[in-house]
């Protein structure tokens, strides 16, 4: 399948990265650390995309330890596991931030770096949800699904915002900066406290807050990890509203109608009508095979985000269609028939059956997602590399200051 038509490739040479970071933590702490210390650890021959991929390897290592020690996301791990998750996420954030500096100092900045960086971030988003869920002992259930929804929506909205405004905007408090730093501290603190079971305790009694008359019992007994979800949901709503305002303003400034831009949120929310419906109709997947389903949902979202980024780079129309929703929609329709028949007496038989067949179909969806997203990544990277005469993970044309000076004369 062709994802980028040849006539659109010249737009790659018009691409210029635009980003605004309002974070005080980034400005006064992290960026000085990256530019004065970390960047000196990487040789000039190392390609920026290789740095990005190397950082992602730490996340893969974290996922492997998760699958070994707590595959059900509800077991306490040895303290060193939580410390390794904290270190791995910090190193991922560091490598992800430094790749841009490496691109500038090696004169390798370009649209491929934007695509590669965002693509890796999209994959990390769903994987980090599993690690965070394990650190909180969420288990295989709706809490993990809610956390997945929040994380994927945050990344989708950020990418949708950048497509329309042409600028990546990070606020005073943002997920890629403060959010990741907070999570690294949570992982480390979990290790200190002996495991994720610590976060199952009610927050207010532990802090010594008396149960006053106006505080409902369920709120007073709400554990730490549920308060995290309340806080995260509040930030999610505020960020989504702010991004919508940014998009509306940018479209109006260009004389475009904003209503059409807001329709770009429908693919995500349409998908997330199907996901909880599928899990509700298939409790075997929700309570016993949620981890591979999260892999599927993460790839589905990464494919949507990858299409948006590619459309931004080569100036294509906004991509509303995601082929990976087809098997998910079929799974919902197939499971809905027996559900309706058992509840209202009218329905249709399932073609897939239940039990092992449900699980096999879910793994088939995961396999399809790997194939579709893999073909997308390979095709787009090869197309861009061929057109720009560059390599993805190595530097094909090292910067030569003397040669470039002669060309300029």
Catalytically active residues, by annotation: 118
Cβ-contact 281, 335 below 8 angstroms: yes
Q: How far apart are CA 130 and CA 133, in angstroms?
A: 5
Cβ-contact 174, 23 below 8 angstroms: yes
Q: Kindly state the DSSP code that residue 326 receives in the 8-state scheme.
A: H
Q: Kindly state the DSSP code that residue 170 receives in the 8-state scheme.
A: E
Q: How far apart are CA 306 and CA 263, in angstroms?
A: 18
Q: How far apart are CA 224 and CA 38, in angstroms?
A: 34
Q: How far is Cα of residue 86 from the mean position of the Cα atoms in its chain?
A: 18
Cβ-contact 310, 383 below 8 angstroms: no
Cβ-contact 358, 352 below 8 angstroms: yes
Q: Strand, coil or helix: what is 407?
A: helix
Q: Is the dihedral of CA 122, 127, 130, 134 positive or negative?
A: negative
Q: How far apart are CA 193 and CA 330, in angstroms?
A: 44
Q: Which of 147, 151, 53, 36 is nearest to 99 (CA)?
A: 53
Helices 111-135, 180-193: crossing angle, 10 deg rounding: 30
Q: How many Cα atoms are found within 13 Å in the side-chain-facing hemisphere of 155?
A: 29
Q: Strand, coil or helix: what is 365?
A: helix
Cβ-contact 320, 308 below 8 angstroms: no
Q: Where are the alpha helices (DSSP H) in 72-209?
A: 79-105, 111-135, 142-165, 180-193, 203-206
Angle at 264 between CA 261 and CA 267, to 5 degrees: 165
Q: How far apart are CA 105 and CA 173, in angstroms?
A: 28
Q: How many Cα atoms are found within 13 Å in the side-chain-facing hemisphere of 170?
A: 18
């Amino acid at each position: 399948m062709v994802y980028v038509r040849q006539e659109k490739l010249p737009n790659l040479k018009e691409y210029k990265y635009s980003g605004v970071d309002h974070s005080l933590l980034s400005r006064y702490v992290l960026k000085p650390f990256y530019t004065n210390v970390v960047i000196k650890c990487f040789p000039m021959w190392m390609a920026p995309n290789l740095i990005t991929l190397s950082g992602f390897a730490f996340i893969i290592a974290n996922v492997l330890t998760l699958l070994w020690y707590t595959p059900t996301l509800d077991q306490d791990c040895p303290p060193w596991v939580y410390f390794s998750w904290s270190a791995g996420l910090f190193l991922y954030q560091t490598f992800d931030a430094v790749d841009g500096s490496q691109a500038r100092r090696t004169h390798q900045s370009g649209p491929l770096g934007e695509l590669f960086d965002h693509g890796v971030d999209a994959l990390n988003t769903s994987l980090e949800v599993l690690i965070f869920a394990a650190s909180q002992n969420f288990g295989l259930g709706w809490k993990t699904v809610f956390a997945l929804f929040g994380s994927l929506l945050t990344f989708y909205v950020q990418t949708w915002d950048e497509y329309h405004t042409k600028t990546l905007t990070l606020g005073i408090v943002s997920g890629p900066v403060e959010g990741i730093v907070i999570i690294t501290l949570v992982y480390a603190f979990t290790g200190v406290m002996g495991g994720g079971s610590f976060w199952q305790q009610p927050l207010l009694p532990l802090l010594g807050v008396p149960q006053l008359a106006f505080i409902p019992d369920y709120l007073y007994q709400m554990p730490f990890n549920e308060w995290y979800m309340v806080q995260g949901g509040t930030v999610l709503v505020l960020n989504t509203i702010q991004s919508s305002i940014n998009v509306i303003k940018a479209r109006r400034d260009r004389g475009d109608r904003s209503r059409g831009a807001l329709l770009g949120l429908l693919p995500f929310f349409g998908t997330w009508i199907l996901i909880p419906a599928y899990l509700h109709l298939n409790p075997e997947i929700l309570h016993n095979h949620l981890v591979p389903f999260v892999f599927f949902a993460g790839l589905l979202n990464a494919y949507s985000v990858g299409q948006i980024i590619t459309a931004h780079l080569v100036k294509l129309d906004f991509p509303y269609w995601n082929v990976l929703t087809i098997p998910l929609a079929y799974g919902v329709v197939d499971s809905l028939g027996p559900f309706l028949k058992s509840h209202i007496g009218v329905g249709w038989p399932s073609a897939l059956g239940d039990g092992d067949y449900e699980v096999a179909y879910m793994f088939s969806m995961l396999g399809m997602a790997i194939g579709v997203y893999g073909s997308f990544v390979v095709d787009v990277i090869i197309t861009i590399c061929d057109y720009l005469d560059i390599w993805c993970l190595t530097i094909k044309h090292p910067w030569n200051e003397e040669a470039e000076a002669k060309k300029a004369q």
